Amino acid sequence: MRRDLLGRMQQIFLLISILLLLAIGLLAAQAAGFSWASGLSWRGWLPVAPPHPRVVLISGHAASDSGAVCTDADGTVSLAEADVTADVTKRAAELLRQAGNEVEIFAEFDARLDGLAADALVSLHADSCVEYSGYKAAHRENAPTVDDVRLLACVDQKYAAATGLAYHPDTITRDMIDYHAFRKIDPATPALILELGFLGGDRVLLTDGAERVAQGVADGITCFLAGSSADEQSLSP
């Protein structure tokens, strides 16, 4: 009789011990980040990946006008800036997405530009149908940030390298340095306007070589997002 009671007490004690150990184990797992809500997965144990950089590309003149045009002898338009920028923008966006960025393509006067906060904004344009060759890039004239300057340095270096185009310094216009988007976005958003080349002298590159042009754009932005300073590289002997 007495031995029965002792045995039963031992069983109860054992049961309570097992329940206590289970509870302690559960609490410890929860404290370490394991979550029942996540469907019993172990995701909670893994380090959280940083958010993807947000890149916005403006497809020059999109939803506005055709921009600069080349015309045949009879006045027919043979090449329009807006078609060139749309093609290059689409290709550059794809390359940047493949590199793990979140990329959005905006129209020229996109309403989303107002107060835009992004990791980089680059507007793609092309210059007129004259027999010049070369690209141009500019950040805002009014109070550029350190990041504006660094983005420009990266694009200058990488775009020139990918396309073989030289910088064409004499034709930077008021429209570029006082570009409308610079005045709309959050001032902390690094921003740049890039004239990809001349529809005239760089026509073959801008059309048949659009993939190389897009690669140059993507390389420049990737250099900036990686925290590189093209300045430091180019200043080294």
Which window, 32-40, 61-69, 100-108, 132-140, contacts Zn ion (CB under 5 A)?
Answer: 61-69
Between CA 93 and CA 158 the distance in angstroms is: 16
Which window, 31-39, 52-60, 107-115, 178-186, contacts Zn ion (CB under 5 A)?
Answer: 52-60
User: Residue 50 is encoded by which pair of tokens?
Assistant: 């940083």
Which residue, 53 or 134, is less far from Zn ion as judged by CB? 134
Which residue, 8 or 180, is less far from Zn ion as judged by CB? 180
Q: Residue 201: name the closest of 128, 131, 125, 129 by CA.
A: 131
- Residue with tokens 């030289």, as numbered in its chain: 166
Shortest approach of Zn ion to residue 175 CB, angstroms? 8
Shortest approach of Zn ion to residue 87 CB, angstroms? 14
Cβ(126)–Cβ(67) under 8 Å?
A: yes
Which residue, 126 or 230, is less far from Zn ion as judged by CB? 126
DSSP state of 228: -
| Closest residue to bound Zn ion by CB | 125
Which residue, 91 or 125, is less far from Zn ion as judged by CB? 125
Q: Which of 80, 108, 125, 190 binds Zn ion (CB under 5 A)?
A: 125
User: Residue 215 is encoded by which pair of tokens?
Assistant: 């690669």
- Collect all residues with Cβ–Cβ distance below 8 Å to 38 and sequence separation of at least 6: 44
Binding site for Zn ion (CB under 5 A): 60, 67, 125
